[in-house]
Structure 1
Amino acid sequence: MSDQTATLDLDVIEDHAALDEDYVLTPGFVEKVVDAADDGDGMRLRSLLEDLHPADVADLMGFLTAEHRAVVVLWLPPELLAETLPELDDGIREEVLERVPHGTLAEALQELDSDDAAAVVEEMEDDQREKVLSAMPAPDRAAIETSLAYDEESAGRLMQREVMAAPQFWTVGDTIDHVRSQSEDLPELFFDIYVVDPVNRPVGGVAISQLLRAPRATLLSDLMEPINEIAVDQDQEEVAYIFEKYHLISAPVVDAGGRLVGQITVDDIVNIIQEENREDILRLAGVADEDRGSSVPEIVRGRVPWLTVNLITAALGASVIGLFEGTIQQIVALAVLMPIVSAIGGNAGTQAMTVTVRALATRELNSANAMRTFVRELMVGMANGLVLAPLIGVAAALWFRDEDWRIGLVIAGAMVLNLLVAASVGMLTPLTLSRLKFDPAVSSAVFVTATTDFFGFLIFLGLATIVLL
């Protein structure tokens, strides 16, 4: 092999070594894409990107600037563009959709299953949506429009309309022959065959693995197993819970009359679970849904309202301190120790709140075990208090022994009482919000922090006033 050929081979290997051992795009590869975009070298871009998985292309888009994305997206093959669009962050997808010609989008969407295509079309502006849909064949357009007619975050919006169904009287051989002859009309990926009655109501399901093991003459009705049906108007969180609880790979979706209208597969559920978890984590922190495509004004608009609420609740805590201004002036050491009581109480309350919100989301907590769980949290709070109180009490007594050693007793007692308050509030706040039909992940943190600060200061300064003055 010549030196020139060896050099070319090394360049090719280097170009396509896009991922490191952790499946993350390497800085070197991103730099090559940026350089090709700066040079306007479309063929070079296509060479770099054509072997990437759509998820990696979507990840790459997050590392690029808007100007570079505008160049890269124009050189993505329609099939790769189609599979990349559902993977993009919402803000980036909206930007990319504005850059791609309507005809190219229409061609790309035809490569997707109806659920993914509907998810992409949903993000378009009304005028763009109309132009793209009008450029698509009538069957594809009708499937997308039907999906968009269902409520957002419902099973109907989540499902794909492509589904493999077979009548009860078919045999294994009939079914396999049908799959082979009608492959273009079937889902790109499916795991179960739904057995339906004469009016298209599912009566059972046969796993592909089970079908392939059975003799050709076996009736589907002899192989089918009971299935978990999903109502078309069911909330996606409910659907995710059913999939997780019953370990489903796919499930049929039925309309109000019980007729089969589509299916939901586990890949969609994984996305829903990730979205819901991400949403809950952000809401617990009082942060709006942000991604790499979010602008500074959008992020500020999402965060300022909750910071304003926190400012108000902090003022309530400060008002309690104001009530004991005379006590603090006489015993300055109290000002040094106050933050310890409120900080520990806030952290303990956050722990109890997080566990409770998670238990509510996974249906592990309901009216049947709420009292038992509440008592357990109180016991945990008491135990934590009995462990921490002697530590802080002895430390404070030694620290301020020249002033008044009883400060150690005050802060120890305040610590136990505030941890009991934190455990109570940390559980009762999300539970109450849930009963009132509010999302406990949205408002719990503000209430818990405000309450533990308020009572932390009140208990500590109140005890100090009673014991030390």
Structure 2
Amino acid sequence: MSERDPLDPVLLPPGEADTAEIDRPDHDHEVMDDEDRLRPEFVSQVLDAVDEGDNESARALVEPLHPADVADLIELARADEREGLVAALAELVDAEVLAELNEHVREILISEMSPERVAEIAGELDTDDAVAIIEDLEEDEQRAVLRAMEPDDRAAIEEALTYGEETAGRLMQRDLIAVPEHWTVGQVIDYLRSDADLANDFWEVFVVSPIHHPVGTCKLSTILRSNRQVMVSDIMALEQTLIPVDMDQEDVALRFQKYALVSAAVVDGSGRLVGMITVDDIVHIIQAEASEDVLLLSGAGEGDINEPVLDSYKARVRWLIANLLTALLASTVIRMFEGSIERLAILAALMPIVAGVGGNAGTQTLAVTVRALATNQLTGSNRWRAVGREMRVALMNGVTVATLVGIAVSLILGSPQLGAVIAAAMLFNVLIAGFAGVLVPLTLERWGADPAVASSIFVTMVTDSMGFLLFLGFATASGLTG
């Protein structure tokens, strides 16, 4: 009988395939809810066991969980409960769990560990995950951890730390499979089987030139379905998306999304292959960048519920102060028409309507513009076309809302003239709101600033001030207050 190739699939006899499953505790329904979140009852059960000193029961409950769920459990515990929980779970809180933890929670746990223990954990992780743990440490703590690491791991981490934050260099993994183009498929397979130090998780093999420049890629499926005698150069895909090592991670994510990539080679300034980025890392980046833009629009800082209270305060209060200043500007406009408001008090009740609808219209346009900029849908080539589109939308919205509010005010208050005034003010303010909603983020981007940074505050300032100015100005000019 010939020896079975280790790459051949194992075929089970009929009937056995249905029963050959890995034994695992059937308790998901007790632990997770319908949205794959840990049930409060389970969290309380684990914490109660730790509080009672029954660490063995706590470990038995947590052991079947995925590392990401163990990380969620630690995050759900109160700050004063986490140290005891981590101590009770002991070896269950391994490198994979720490890699999944929220950065603020992880930073606290890491600070309680010795440099040797942190170095041990970092050595078990992919380079990108290890960098994420070490980069948040203080400089002296970083040096202590790096001294305790194996030379090869230390060199990889030190190189990664030389790249800017949120760049491909920080994000990439150094462990990859690269082979010369003159090899055969058989040589590649033998190489993958024989070298125990090769990367464990990969989806494609990178083909490189003698000077280590990437010249193509081979999917694992292509390699496994080809004869051993076939040359790698004959089956490799020549077209590939190369990621510069200094590219911003948001641009990297856009390339993965645009070209439907699973992994991509990272090259340095000379074109040499230095690492790879995989789609699992990109999923985290897309989520983080999307959340960041939403939070920046509101000036809420990181918006992380695990962020220290003082840090959250500092991030938010400056934008509230800015909002206060813009509100004072709107108040100054109202004061200019103090006499008109005294003579016709109903103006005070109606003017917030004009400002409020204008603010909502501006926020809608702002959200569309920021998203278009973030996803590269809005560029220099279609900038003015996009402005024109938003102005047409604003015009149609303005006409619709102005007509409705004009008719309503005329009928309810019995004043067609007042209805016409508020309709005109509403129309012009919605138009201004649309223009501001697209112009503010475009201007910020032109100045090299993040277009999402609290743009809503400036758009609100424009719509409030102009709304009051238009409504009160039209009312005064029309003779309603005379």
TM-score, normalising length from structure 2? 0.91
One-letter code of the match for 2:449?
Answer: F
2:220 matches 1:208: yes
2:132 matches 1:119: yes
User: Matches of 1:48 and 1:101 in 2, distance apart?
Assistant: 27
Identity fraction in percent: 48
Q: 1:190 is matched with which residue?
A: 202
Quote how far apart the aligned CAs of 1:380 are.
0.8
Residue 224 of structure 1 corresponds to: 236
Question: What is the deviation of 1:330?
Answer: 0.9
Per the alignment, residue 289 of structure 1 pairs with 302
Match of 1:426 in 2: 437
**Aligned position for 1:93:** 106
Counterpart pick for 2:417 among 374, 386, 406: 406
SS of structure 1 residue aligned to 2:65: coil
Determine the structure 1 residue equivalent to 2:427. 416
Once residues 434 and 25 of structure 1 are traced to their aligned partners in structure 2, the CA distance between those partners, rounded to angstroms, is 41
Residues 37 and 68 in structure 1, CA contact (< 8 A), matched pair in contact too:
no
CA drift of 1:76 comes to 4.3
User: Residue in 1 aligned with 2:467?
Assistant: 456
Query: Does the C-alpha gap of structure 1 residues 450 and 406 become closer, same or farther in structure 2, counting only changes over 3 Å?
Result: same
Q: Secondary structure at the match of 2:416?
A: coil
Aligned-residue offset at 1:445: 1.0
Aligned to 1:322: 335
Structure 2 residue runs without a partner (length 5+): 1-24
Which amino acid in the other structure matches residue 199 of structure 2?
P
| Mapping 1:54-69, distance limit 5 Å | 54-69=67-82
Taking the aligned partners of 2:71 and 2:352, their CA distance within structure 1 comes to: 45
For residues 241 and 386 of structure 2, what CA distance do their matches in structure 1 show? 31
Residues of 2 paired with 1:452 and 1:435: CA distance?
22
39, 45, 55: which one aligns with 1:26: 39
CA shift, 1:46, in A, is 2.1
- 2:402 matched residue in structure 1: 389
SS at match of 1:230: strand
What are the equivalent positions in structure 2 for 1:67-466 lying under 5 Å apart? 67-76=80-89, 78=91, 80-182=93-195, 184-225=196-237, 226-401=239-414, 404-466=415-477
Counterpart-to-counterpart distance in 1, 2:88 and 2:117:
11
Aligned equivalents of 2:252, 2:434: Cα separation in 1: 32
Unaligned runs of 5+ in 1: 1-11
* Counterpart residue identity of residue 419, structure 1: V
Distance 1:130 1:36, change over 3 A: farther
Does the C-alpha gap of structure 1 residues 43 and 167 become closer, same or farther in structure 2, counting only changes over 3 Å? Answer: same
Further displaced range: 120-129 or 432-441: 120-129
**How far did 1:275 drift?**
1.1
* TM-score, normalised via structure 1 length: 0.93
Distance 1:231 1:15, change over 3 A: closer
Q: Residues 103 and 51 from structure 1, CA distance in 2 versus in 1: closer, same or farther, beyond 3 angstroms? A: farther
Stretches of 4+ aligned residues off by more than 6 angstroms: none
In the alignment, the residues of structure 2 paired with residue 188 and residue 272 of structure 1 have an alpha-carbon distance, to the nearest angstrom, of 22
Q: How many residues align?
A: 455
Deviation of 1:247 (Å): 1.0
Q: 1:229 to 1:15 in 2, by over 3 A?
A: closer
State the secondary structure of the residue aligned to 1:151. Answer: coil
Higher helix proportion: 1
CA 1:78/1:173 → structure 2, altered by over 3 Å: closer, same or farther? farther
Q: What is the root-mean-square deviation in Å for CA atoms of aligned residues? A: 1.7
Deviations 1:320-358 (A, max 9, x none): 111111111111111110000000000000000110011
Larger mean CA deviation between 128-137 and 409-418 belongs to 128-137
Map Cα deviations across residues 341-397 of structure 1 (whole Å, 9 max, x no partner).
000000000000110011011111112111211111111111111111121112111
Q: Distance in 2 between matches of 1:387 and 1:188?
A: 60
